Amino acid sequence: MGASAATGGSAGTAAFPVKPQLESGVRFCESDRECSGLECRAWRSFGHHVCAAGCPSGNECLKKEVCLSGNALEPTCFASCDWPSDCAYAFDCFDWYGNGSYVCIPAEWVRGG
């Protein structure tokens, strides 16, 4: 029998599933190894680090992400949100710039910022 339809391969060829890129800024980490190609980043001296993509030009973020910077934070992509329930556990939906554009960031950062 041929290769599994789940991998999209055909008989005689090796096919591997493509691992999707993690969303930026929605998962805690302790090192880059935990971030599947993203960087493990922190803000100020807070204990929680997040897996995140940098956005030095502001255009590197995925469709449902926003590039945040300033206030000692390197330009970093974070998931956008409309409601607190859009964010992962221990993340808050917060208006970083005060302009009505909400993003999910670690709750610890909201309380300390």
Among 8, 11, 40, residue whose Cα is nearest residue 24: 40
Task: Please give the pLDDT value at position 10.
Answer: 53
Q: pLDDT by residue (tens digit) across 81-102?
A: 999 999 999 999 999 889 999 9
Under a CB-based contact definition with an 8 Å cutoff, are residues 53 and 66 in contact? no
Is the predicted pLDDT of residue 113 greater than 70, yes or no? no
Task: Please give the pLDDT value at position 79.
Answer: 93
Q: What is the C-alpha separation between 60 and 46, in angstroms, rounded?
A: 25
Averaged pLDDT for residues 32-50? 85
Under a CB-based contact definition with an 8 Å cutoff, are residues 7 and 19 in contact? no
pLDDT classification of 108: cutoffs 50, 70, 90:
confident
> Which of 4-8, 14-18, 42-46, 76-80 has the lowest average pLDDT?
4-8
Task: Please give the pLDDT value at position 84.
Answer: 92
Sequence ranges of the domains in the chain: 28-112
State if pTM tops 0.85: no
Task: Please give the pLDDT value at position 81.
Answer: 96
Q: What is the C-alpha separation between 77 and 4, in angstroms, rounded?
A: 36
